[in-house]
Amino acid sequence: MIEITPQQLPVLSRWFPTGSPGLGALAEHVLTTGTGHWWADRPDQPRVLAVTCADHVLLRGDPGVLAPDAVARFADRYVDTPARFWPALGSAFERIVPWERMTYVHQAQAPVALPRTPRGVTVRRLMPEDVPALAALHSEYAWIHASWGGPAGLAGSGHGWAAFAKGRILSVACTYFLGSAYEDIAVVTVPDRRRERLALACVAGLTADIRARGHTASWCCSRDNRPSRLLAWTAGFRLTREHVHHITGRALERTARAAPAGPDTGVQRPVVRPGRPKVPVGAAVGGGRTRCDVPVSDRPPLPDRTVDLSDLP
């Protein structure tokens, strides 16, 4: 697949319907913010179209027109695609792990008990001058601003809230994918300031802003990630959909052979693991993403947007 410019895009409504919650807002986010990339099998009248942002991929179209290694560039990513693409993924990567996901949508009428802010902590909207504080977060949490192209993009977007103490960011909640109707959110809390309900406070401020924009907040997490599901419920989100993403491993190495005899194509066989990866509660990073049971060499760089039990009421 080749990268194309936004000017080369076909009418997107056929490929990525607008007004969708969760990961469905990714295409609109890339089109609106310019953070991300568009890919197609050909520049004119594409038959396969993909959009990528941060560690996520939306892939649509006719997989029958793709070469075996056409999707290899999407290694170590989370891929959302119809079932007809699964054989193409299986032939392109060493390992494919199905990952059951849950999408929640915020309900304005749901009762939410707002937490009391700890002494010395301020919870407020992010501003452009907060770039140094965002950049100072540990590299493990850099994913929180990846969908905005970095700290400056998130700080200047008007779509984030954070808890501060002495100029240091303790927790961040932000719109991760900005759609025309829904804003899919993410949250992270530094480990040494857990058990203070800071994530809940940031999410409360963020969802109020989202409502004021005439949008609705959505929340995606792994089915196995009970802490994230509990925080979503506590913050007023309710389950609307269950679906499956696929975590891709390394791209298969392919060797060219002249006139191969028999069925051997010179391509390593992929390993497709059934079921879903385990997401251990103990591995959670407060408000951040947890790791799954994919070997280290095959893990995507940015696992689940999740929360730690210590952020719960």
Question: Residue 285 is inside which H or E element, if any?
Answer: none
d(Cα 94, Cα 99) in Å, to the nearest integer? Answer: 16
User: What are the pLDDT digits (tens) for 189-206?
Assistant: 999 998 899 999 999 999
For 165, the 3-state DSSP assignment is: strand
- Residues 6 or more apart whose Cβ sits within 8 Å of residue 211: 108, 217
What is the value of pTM for the model shown? 0.82
pLDDT of residue 255: 55
In order along its 313 residues, the chain shows pLDDT tens digits of 999 999 888 888 789 989 999 999 999 999 999 999 999 999 999 999 999 999 999 999 999 999 988 999 999 999 999 999 999 999 999 999 999 999 999 998 988 888 888 999 999 999 999 999 999 999 999 999 999 999 999 999 999 999 999 999 999 999 999 999 999 999 999 999 988 999 999 999 999 999 999 999 999 999 999 889 999 999 999 999 999 999 999 999 865 444 444 443 333 434 444 444 433 332 232 333 332 333 323 333 344 554 443 444 3
Integer Cα distance of 165 and 27 in angstroms? 35
Secondary structure percentages of the chain, helix, strand, coil, to 5: 30, 30, 45
